[in-house]
Structure 1
Amino acid sequence: METAHNTVARLSAQFDLRPAASAPELLAAPTAAALPTVTGEVEVFAIDPVIADTAALLAATGLGPETSANCVLVAGSRSGEERIAACLVLAHTRADVNKRVKKLLDVRKASFLTMDRAVGESGMEYGGIGPIGLPENYRILIDSRVAEADALIIGSGIRGSKLLLSGPTLASLPAAEVIEGLANEID
């Protein structure tokens, strides 16, 4: 298991870590606009877009899956009202969409947003979607294991960079809800 210090050291050896606020060119516009609402340190580093997907990034850096969190967008409806949530889970887990998320959204059926819709509504690139800068009507559901992590890699909104921040920083996002058991381990 990686410590926060080891994660930062490995990333610093391979990438130029910078305060995210000083590098808006490495962020999607909605992410850059929402950055001032984030409490805590957020760093950004440029990557080759070819390694933007979690498995490729972890293989390239040698980091374990506990150092990366994925953000998936899920929707469902009840009585004609659509309910959307961004679910943030560790890379070695999967959001429990069919039970936990469905119950939290109070919908009959929950499903992932299509790629076109996720990209169009978030203003972010597929493979780079993160919770910072999502539309205000999206709930942000964070698995408790994510909220407890000392150092995490998440999407910056573009495939050409990633953010590095702590779980408590993510949990402090204005719309964040920390949920116990939001995700299940991948077999």
Structure 2
Amino acid sequence: MRAPIGDFDDARPAPERLDDLTGPVADAVRAWEGDVPAGHLLYVDTDPAIADTAVFVEHHGRDLLDTSANCVVVAARRGGETSLAACVVLSSTRVDVNGVVRKHLGARKASFAPMETAVGATGMEYGGITPIGLPGDWPLLIDAAVVDREWVLIGSGRRRGKLIVPGKALAGLPGAVVLDGLGAAPAVS
């Protein structure tokens, strides 16, 4: 099957590729109950050596600049307590951690979680963290521009491989809140 976005020769329904996903992601696909059928979540094999966005886009298609999304883990602090949340924004933007995220979570301070914390808490590989399969009690903040995409390319839980999913499918994930302005325009240098 040909992928609906990007230049991928072999896209397979994620339920057929569970062995290629990390445990939490495979479990989430097995238990999928969203409005979009699990068979519409597609897995594409990718080379982790070309995971850098510029090289990846050159290899797999320039249309991915507007249809790729990143999932990052943030740590929010308030009153001596730290909680974790995930944010999903288009790859062409950056997460507004100190504005939208901090305010939405009611935190005094918010920052990107350290790599060890993100990997340990998600059970996923750094550089492959995906909103599918995150801990169910986490807030999952998703930029409205991601949900508005017909298809979006996200991580698979590993650096090797990606998932292509309908943007609207992400809004139905556990803890999901869709926010305007979560993805801020990148700084101009």
Aligned to 2:14: 20
How much does 1:111 deviate? Answer: 0.7
How much does 1:7 deviate? Answer: 6.7
Q: For residues 123 and 163 of structure 1, what CA distance do their matches in structure 2 show? A: 17
TM-score calculated relative to the size of structure 1: 0.90
How much does 1:121 deviate? Answer: 1.0
Matched-pair identity in %: 45
> Is 1:85 the equivalent of 2:88?
no
Q: For residues 54 and 165 of structure 2, what CA distance do their matches in structure 1 show? A: 19
Aligned to 2:4: 8
Aligned to 1:140: 140
Where structure 2 has 5 or more consecutive residues not aligned to the other structure, the ranges are none
Secondary structure of 1:110's match?
strand
Deviation string 1:78-115 (CA, Å, 9 cap, x unpaired) is 12332221100001111100111010111111011111
Aligned to 1:3: none
Query: Are residues 44 and 7 of structure 1, via their aligned partners in 2, closer, same or farther at CA, if it must alter by over 3 Å?
Result: closer
Q: For residues 75 and 69 of structure 2, what CA distance do their matches in structure 1 show? A: 19
Q: For residues 155 and 135 of structure 1, what CA distance do their matches in structure 2 show? A: 16
Where structure 1 has 5 or more consecutive residues not aligned to the other structure, the ranges are 1-5
How much does 1:9 deviate? Answer: 5.6
Q: Is the 8 A contact 1:38 1:169 kept in 2?
A: no
Higher helix share: 1
> Is 1:37 the equivalent of 2:36?
no
How much does 1:158 deviate? Answer: 0.5
Query: Are residues 102 and 9 of structure 1, via their aligned partners in 2, closer, same or farther at CA, if it must alter by over 3 Å?
Result: closer
Q: For residues 71 and 94 of structure 1, what CA distance do their matches in structure 2 show? A: 10
Q: For residues 45 and 110 of structure 2, what CA distance do their matches in structure 1 show? A: 34
Aligned to 2:59: 60
Q: For residues 157 and 54 of structure 2, what CA distance do their matches in structure 1 show? A: 18
Q: Is the 8 A contact 2:139 2:176 kept in 1?
A: yes
Secondary structure of 2:84's match?
strand
Aligned to 2:47: 48
> Which AA in structure 1 matches 2:4?
V
TM-score calculated relative to the size of structure 2: 0.89
Query: Are residues 18 and 108 of structure 1, via their aligned partners in 2, closer, same or farther at CA, if it must alter by over 3 Å?
Result: same
Q: How many correspondences in the alignment?
A: 180
> Which AA in structure 1 matches 2:172?
S
Secondary structure of 2:153's match?
strand
Secondary structure of 2:145's match?
helix
